[in-house]
Chain A
Amino acid sequence: MSAPLLSVEGLRMHFFTKAGVVKAVDDVSFELERGRILGLVGESGSGKSMTGYSIMGLVDAPGRIVAGRISLNGTDLASLDERAWRKLRGNRVAMIFQDPMMTLNPVLRIDTQMVEAVLAHHAISRESALERCREGLARVGIASPDERLRSYPHQFSGGMRQRVAIAIALLNKPDLIIADEPTTALDVTIQGQILFEMQKLCRESGTGLIWITHDLSVVSGLADEVCVMYAGRIVESGTVDDVLEHPMHPYTRGLLDSVPSRNTPGRPLSQIPGMTPSLLRLGAACAFRERCPRAIDTCATAPASRAPLAGRTLRCVNPIA
């Protein structure tokens, strides 16, 4: 049984603001095997993006990782200094962001932005780097790469830009890619294409992929495993089939029920009542308590993460059986 590619244990990342401490990531643990795809699902403010940034070491003040281990291929990332981080970023672990119009620098050419990603980690000639970029663009299905390389980001469509971002992520053949809502800003049809291509690329190259999203339907088509996050904690995790077919946490159940395709036409959509709690004011109780149809007295103490079945984790004292 080989060691997993990525192992996150007890990760805690807090923001120390003037208004108080925001526990953006609160005791998050999961593992990812080589070539597997993990979906990190949650709504806005659940801490999923922050988890991604923590793994990349891109947490800026006033945020800070306060506890936990992040182990990539055996290296503990949380203990690295900035220079060591720079060697890893874009090289062994790459990130794809949500809106490529914002993440690609509008005044620099595509080739500049691709070549610099290669040259930052490999001492090769610019020509060789450029060749690698051409191959990279071809791999994500962009035709006439030379013309594309000399263009600027605003000359591409949204889907094309995201393909470029994916190509950049793959340039140095990373072990792990973290994709933060990369298809949210795109058309549904393009979304489907990109999902399919990402899946293929990861399987072919054995790259691990963490796909951060708020959209369950994306996860069901794409991922192998899923972690559901709420208020900075993982409330449920397991394989996609297991969790989506037999959800145990009431929040997961609520999410599934609110997806339009799962509701009968003509009847009002089911909703989770209430609103997400403020991360500043998390008390000692389970964060979902106020909105939970199955809340009982013991929910006054936030439950720890258990493993009710093989391959599943759960944070609930009154789960759906």
Chain B
Amino acid sequence: MLAFTIRRFGQSLFVLVVMSFLVFIGVYAIGNPIELLVNPQADEIERARATAALGLDKPILEQYGTFLARGAQGDLGRSFVFNVPAIQLILDRLPATLELALAAMVIAIALGIPLGLLAGLRPHSFAGRAIMAGSILGFSLPTFWVGLVLIMFFSVHLGWLPPNGRGETVALFGVQVSFLTWDGLKHLAMPALNLALFKLSLLIRLTRASTREAVLQDYVKYARAKGLGPRRVIGVHVLKNILIPIVTVIGLELGSVIAFAIITESIFAWPGTGKLLIDSINQLDRPVIVAYLLVIVTIFIAINFVVDVLYSVLDPRVRLGAAAAH
């Protein structure tokens, strides 16, 4: 088990290094790196100075080495627009994005698993089919359009919820969170729901498919043969089996939710990293783009790693190895 964990950790580090190399090369590949790392409005003297200062007259590998070294210390350049270290911009806004992403996942899980179970246990009932039809609608809906419709309905038409921005925040373990205030919740509701919709539908479908397969298995018939009631058969036997793949999917989807938050943040003007990224792309603030990519890549690799380890913990067959012959 420990060997497995160490090996996965090593692999993760390797992927991180490879990705950093790709990002670096990507920046190189677009043309003269000076254009990318220096304010586009700088003149010739500025450029020459910057070239030397940034060490761009040195060989590529050496530059990559410097980049890595600086990166490991947290220095990923300064934003052109805000003139603060890019990494700081990202980290400032990360809590807002994480809050949104986690709120969306909570909604998706709390609704998705029960609805999926119901649809899987009674696939031909009215409820079952309605849930399935609803889930198809759910992941066909274009997220950005749904956001607009939500604003149209709840803000413009009904006037219940604010159309954009993040609400009041309070500090929780040193991090600013908004879900603990009523105003914060009002601002969080629509974006979280918007972001959750797609994942909710996927989770419903996944749970339904897993449940339908699980119910056909012999161990369910056997559990009934022992005289166990449906609550125990479903709640323990079936649930424990389907939770393993579902939990791993949830873990992997968390990373995806953070990425899709880009769209939701744009619509609802949620001050997270996604909005920052879009603005940076539109304003050609490339250090911020690079910083964002590297932070996101690190988060992803970390999530993948945790999920792998979690999977081996949850499934006793993986954890304890194959049967020993007697």
- Chain B residues near A58 (CB-CB < 8 A): 221, 224-225
CB pair B222–A103 under 8 Å, yes or no, is yes
Whether a CB of chain B sits under 8 angstroms from the CB of A104 is yes
Please name the residue on chain A nearest to B244 by beta carbon: A107
A107-B315, A157-B325 in contact; A120/B240 too (CB < 8 A)? no
Q: Which of A58, A89, A155 has the most CB of B within 10 A?
A: A155
Whether a CB of chain A sits under 8 angstroms from the CB of B22 is no
Choose among A89, A107, A157 the residue that contacts B326 (Cβ–Cβ < 8 A).
A157
Which applies to chain B's interface (DSSP): helix, strand, loop or mixed?
helix
The complex places the Cα of A86 from the Cα of B218 at a distance, in Å, of 18
Whether a CB of chain B sits under 8 angstroms from the CB of A314 is no
Choose among A91, A155, A159 the residue that contacts B324 (Cβ–Cβ < 8 A).
A155
CB pair B228–A116 under 8 Å, yes or no, is yes
A105-B241, A117-B226 in contact; A97/B326 too (CB < 8 A)? no
- Chain A residues near B221 (CB-CB < 8 A): 58, 97, 103
- Chain A residues near B229 (CB-CB < 8 A): 86, 120
Q: Smallest Cβ distance from B158 to chain A, in angstroms? A: 46
CB pair B222–A87 under 8 Å, yes or no, is no
Whether a CB of chain A sits under 8 angstroms from the CB of B320 is yes
Q: Smallest Cβ distance from B1 to chain A, in angstroms? A: 15
- Chain A residues near B59 (CB-CB < 8 A): none
Contacts of A79-98 to chain B: CB distance below 8 A: 86-91, 94-95, 97
A86-B227, A89-B227 in contact; A154/B244 too (CB < 8 A)? no
Choose among B222, B236, B322, B326 the residue that contacts A104 (Cβ–Cβ < 8 A).
B222
Contacts of B182-234 to chain A: CB distance below 8 A: 217-219, 221-229, 232
The complex places the Cα of A120 from the Cα of B232 at a distance, in Å, of 10
CB pair B225–A90 under 8 Å, yes or no, is yes
B contact residues, total (Cβ < 8 Å): 27
- Chain A residues near B323 (CB-CB < 8 A): 154-157
The complex places the Cα of A168 from the Cα of B232 at a distance, in Å, of 17
CB pair B240–A99 under 8 Å, yes or no, is no
CB pair A97–B226 under 8 Å, yes or no, is no
The complex places the Cα of A38 from the Cα of B245 at a distance, in Å, of 43
Contacts of A98-127 to chain B: CB distance below 8 A: 99, 102-108, 112, 116-117, 120-121
Whether a CB of chain B sits under 8 angstroms from the CB of A160 is yes
Contacts of B2-27 to chain A: CB distance below 8 A: none
- Chain A residues near B58 (CB-CB < 8 A): none
Q: Which of A87, A89, A99, A105 has the most CB of B within 10 A?
A: A105
CB pair B226–A155 under 8 Å, yes or no, is no
Choose among A102, A116, A152 the residue that contacts B226 (Cβ–Cβ < 8 A).
A116
- Chain B residues near A116 (CB-CB < 8 A): 226, 228, 232, 236
Q: Could you write out 28 A-B pairs with CB less than 8 Å apart?
A: A56-B225, A58-B224, A88-B227, A90-B226, A94-B225, A95-B225, A97-B225, A99-B218, A102-B219, A103-B219, A103-B221, A104-B219, A105-B223, A105-B237, A105-B241, A106-B317, A107-B241, A108-B236, A116-B226, A116-B236, A117-B226, A117-B228, A120-B226, A120-B232, A156-B323, A156-B326, A157-B326, A160-B326
